[in-house]
Amino acid sequence: MTQSTLKGLSAQFKDKLIQKTLERRLQQNQAASQAAPDDHFFRKPSTAQHTIPEAHYQFSRHPGYQQLRIINEGAERLGLKSPFFKQHEGVAGATTQIAGRELINYGSYNYLGFSGDDDVSNAAKAAIDQYGTTVSASRIVSGERPLHRQLERGLADLYGVDDAIVFVSGHATNVTTIGHLFGPKDLVLHDALIHNCTLQGTQLSGAKRLPFAHNDWAALDALLSEHRHHFERVLIVIEGIYSMDGDYPDLPRFIDIKRRHHAFLMVDEAHSLGVMGATGGGIREHFGIDGKDVDIWMGTLSKALAGCGGYIAGETALVEHLKFMAPGFLYSVGMAPPLAAASLAALTKLQLEPQRVQALQANGAYFLQQAQARGIDTGLGTGLAIIPVITGSSIRATRMSEALFQRGISVQPILFPAVPEKAARLRFFLSCQHTRAQIDHTVDAVAEELAQH
C-alpha cells in the first residue's frame, strides 16, 4: 500500500487499512514458520545438496522476531509511538516521574503504597547491612536466612495454613510448582483467562490441559464429570483477581466442585492479596472461607507486598515437597535479603493499617462509578484495583495511551495478542494514594479522548 493510495482517506479508515495489511502479513509469517519441512530434512542429503535455512541459525530470521518487526513497522506507518519501556525516575505511586515530568500514574501495582514507604525501605536497608545484597547460595545449601522463614511463617499465618515457601520469581513460582507436581498422567483445568505462568507450568509438566469459560464453574463441573476418571491427579487453577479484567471467581463454588471430583484447587492471588477483604486478606477473607479449603495458595510479593518473587502456601507435605525437590527453588539462589525484609515489613504493616486497604477499595469503586457514569466501557471490571477501559482496537488503545500521556496521565495499553483485538484496552491500576481530584481529572480526560479517537 503506497502513501499516495492513503492520501485523502480519513484517519480512521487509513488505520483500518494498515491494520488489515499488518494482520495479513502476520498471518503469512506465521503460516510460513509452521509450514511442513521439505522431504530433504528427513533424508540424509549430500553436503553439496543440503542447505540450512537462515531462520535455523540466525536470531534476526527467527519467526518470533520477524513478527515483532512486522508489528513495529506497522506502528511506524501509523505514526504510533511505542508506549513501552518508558523510564520512570523515582518511586511509582499515585504519581510518577518520566523525563522530568510528573504524571498521574496508573501503570504500577503498588496498590497499598508500601513501595517507597519509610518503614519498608528502612527494613530493606537494615537487611543489606546485616546480610548483604544476596545470600549467595541456594537456600538448601547455605543461603537460608532468618528473614526467609519469618516471611514464610507470616504468609502461612495470614492464610491459616501449615506453612509457606517463597521463590525469587512470581512467574517461576507457578512454572516450577505445576511443572514439578504434575505429569503426563494428570490433568490441569484452568480458567480461559489464566496467566501465562500457569500455561507454561502445565506445558513443562506434560499434563493434559483443558481450559473452561471464564469464571464458569458449571463448565468446569461438566468437564470434570466427563474427564476426571481418565486421569490420576487433577489440578484446577483460578485467580483471585484477573489481571486484565479486574474481576474475580465465585470461590465457594469452585471449592465445592474440587471436593466432589477429588481434585486439587490452586488459587493465584497475585492481584487479590492486599486488595480483597476488609483487611486485605485476599479472596479467602472476601468470601469468609477457611484457608485449608484451598489446596495451593499462590501469590506474588511484587504488588501489595512491595518486593519481588512469589510464594506457595498450604499443608506441610506440599511445602516440604517443593523445598526439597522443586527445581525452581532447589537450584535457585535464595531470595535477596532486602527483598525478603521489604515484603515482611509490608506484610506486617498490611495487618496493622487496614485503612490502606479501605482507601484502595474506595478509590477503585469511585473510579469505576465515575467511568460508567460517563458511558466508558469498563468491561468486566469490579472496581477492585484493576479497571479496564475497552477501546476495541490495539491502534486506538495505543493512540489513547499517548494522548493521555501528553495530558499528564501514565496508563499502559494492552494490545493483541495479549488480549483479543476487539478487547484491546487501557488498563488502570488504582492505589490507596490516588486522590478523588486525580481520578476525576483522569475520567474526564479518558471520556474526551475516547470521543476524539
Q: Cite the active site residues.
A: 243, 271, 303
Helix or strand run (H / E) with residue 309: none
HSE at residue 323, side-chain half, CA atoms within 13 A, is 20
Rounded CA separation 326/314 (Å): 15
CA distances from 222 to 197, 228, 248 (A): 25, 10, 20
Q: DSSP labels for 111-138?
A: TTS-TT-HHHHHHHHHHHHHH-S---SB
End-to-end CA distance of the chain: 23
How many other CB atoms are there within 10 angstroms of residue 27's CB atom?
A: 10
**Are the C-beta atoms of residues 350 and 358 closer than 8 Å to each other?**
no
Rounded CA separation 310/64 (Å): 28
209 in helix, strand or coil? strand
Helix or strand run (H / E) with residue 273: none
Residues near 450 by Cβ (< 8 Å), separated by ≥ 6? Answer: 376, 389, 391, 400
Residue carrying the nine cell digits 540424509: 44
Assigned C-alpha cell, 310: 512469589
How many other CB atoms are there within 10 angstroms of residue 141's CB atom?
A: 12
How many other CB atoms are there within 10 angstroms of residue 48's CB atom?
A: 6
**Are the C-beta atoms of residues 175 and 322 closer than 8 Å to each other?**
no
Q: Is 226 exposed, middle or buried (0-12, 13-18, 19+ CB in 10 A)?
A: exposed
Nearest alpha carbon to residue 354 among 433, 270, 429, 275: 275
Residue carrying the nine cell digits 545438496: 49
- Percentages (nearest 5) of helix, strand, coil residues in the chain: 50, 15, 35
Sheet harboring 412-414: ordered strands across? 386-390, 425-429, 412-414
Rounded CA separation 375/373 (Å): 5
